[in-house]
Structure 1
Amino acid sequence: MANAEAAERTEKEHRPSPIDTHVGSRVRLRRTLLGLSQEKLGEALGLTFQQVQKYERGVNRIGASRLFDLSRVLDVPIGFFFDDMPGTNNGSSGGNSMMRPRLAGGFAEQQEGFEDDTLHKRETLELVRAYYRINEPAVRKRVFDLIKSLAPVE
């Protein structure tokens, strides 16, 4: 029984944190929207593409200085990496809302339910990139209106 518990504990220790996974997915989202390869992003940061892969999967935790570098290279505020994070008020990074669950002792359990959403699908990323490559604002607005008209009313 002790071996099974030890194996389960070891497995949990090696699983990426849901927060690290979320931050990594936001790095991937922004990188893809900018049309950067993992290799190009790695070059800009002085990393290998394998290190970028590990950050994007949440396998390697992104430290504060690296997050700062990423925000500069990807041209987003640091808060971008925490936007839309489940378990926060509307994805905002208002410090108190994130800390309450941790202080209550249920932080890891509450965060287990991170789910991949449509923003992380390749099709969505390609659609957004193509949309923003339309240079003429009037045409882009007509494409936007067309897509909205095709979607079912909620």
Structure 2
Amino acid sequence: MVLWSYRTTPRTSTKETPFSLTYRTEAMLPMEVAVNTLRVANKDEESNAQDLRINLDILQEKCERSGMRQAAYKDATERYYDQRVKEKVFRVGEYVLRKNEASCAQPQGKLGPTWEGPYKVTEANRNGAYVLETMEGRQIPRTWNARNLKKYLF
């Protein structure tokens, strides 16, 4: 029953039910068949067949509309996220900590360290990529994204 309700509930992104996109028609609830509702009582075999043919004719249009709705929904979600995200910017000479999960330098685990460092920022590239060096002056291989860094406060 849970799967049935999931498959017959319209999605926010497409405004269509997964059932209707898969089987090209709206589902009838099992309760409607068991209890003689108006939808079942007024059922006519010939008009039902004609309605199914009409559904097939408009299927391509229905899929295109749901695809456009889904793209618009993704754009709106992206705009919402981009408005709230705070971009981290580090200047050359600042000290940062590096996320242990990204570097895998130390063994991880439930009680393992989350951050390692400090490291000094030696070069700031575009798109939030930074070149780091250790406190002894040895350069760390590859660039590191700002998502994996945080400011180190003495």
TM beyond 0.5: no
Determine which structure has more spread, i.e. the larger CA radius of gyration.
Answer: 2
TM range (shorter): under 0.3
- Name the structure where helix makes up a greater proportion of residues: 1
Question: Structure 2 length as normaliser, TM-score?
Answer: 0.23
Structure number with higher relative contact order (C-alpha < 8 Å, ≥ 6 residues apart):
1
Question: Structure 1 length as normaliser, TM-score?
Answer: 0.23
